[in-house]
Amino acid sequence: MSAPELVKSNKMFGGWVRKYRHQSTELGCEMVFSVFFPPAAAVQGAKVPVVWYLSGLTCTDDNFIQKAGAQRRAAELGLALIAPDTSPRGLGVEGEDDGWDFGTGAGFYVDATADKWKQYRMYSMGGHGALVLALKNPSAFKSVSAFAPICNPTQVPWGKKAFAGYLGDGWQEEGKAYDATELVRGYSGPQLPVLMDTGLDDEFLKTQLHPWAFEEAAKGKLQLTSRMNEGYDHSYFTIASFVSDHLDFHAQYLLASGPRI
């Protein structure tokens, strides 16, 4: 990976929102990501804890940075926020822009194995991606949280379409490696603290999200708090409403120790 190049910088709540671009050797294209550096990071030699935010379907790093309103609380707590993009862009793969839920902006961050999509190698996407990364790498994280995650993708339309496309004929089995419910069933690591927020008025709750599947599978394996919020939907209005709760949650575990930049 080439050294990141600063694209723009905006002061916010005493800290700085900075957008970077770099040439990704893994994906074979230019990629971007955004970082919020809290005021505490400006002190010479200071290092601050990091919260990673993985955006979901159709999003870029800008969605969270511009819509969630997370920087005020992050500045107060002294947390850095890092928001990567959701998929490669501009690869010229036939069909990459044919649908909103597959291809550009919808990489699911899987390490694709189907030849046509082999440059789509980004591991896991959105709230579901946060769960997958934590379950597969529990020693790398102090805590994990998610907004309206796709909890059991091998069993719902979004996941079936994505996995069949990116993983090919063996997607039913390979897809389990990107399915948080399947992963937690076989999980034997530390009982990570997990916070999930889902809206009861989320239009995708019954057809795509299935938080109850993850809740059942995670019993006795994680310190899971799963909140179902009346009146809230699948939008950044919901994320903005609860993002401070999530930062406070992570601060409990990160401020004592954790990865710092």
| Catalytic residue numbers, as ranges | 124, 202, 234
Pair 62, 230: CB distance under 8 Å: no
What is the Cα–Cα distance from 231 to 201, expressed in whole angstroms? 5
* Phi and psi torsions of 136, nearest 5°: -90, -20
Please answer whether residues 20 and 4 qualify as being in contact, where contact means their C-beta atoms are separated by less than 8 angstroms.
yes
Report residue 89 as tokens: 């862009």
Query: Could you give the CA distance from residue 163 to residue 208 in angstroms, rounded to a whole number?
Result: 14
Give just the sign of the alpha carbon dihedral 257, 38, 74, 30: negative
Helix (H, G, I), strand (E, B) or coil at 8: strand
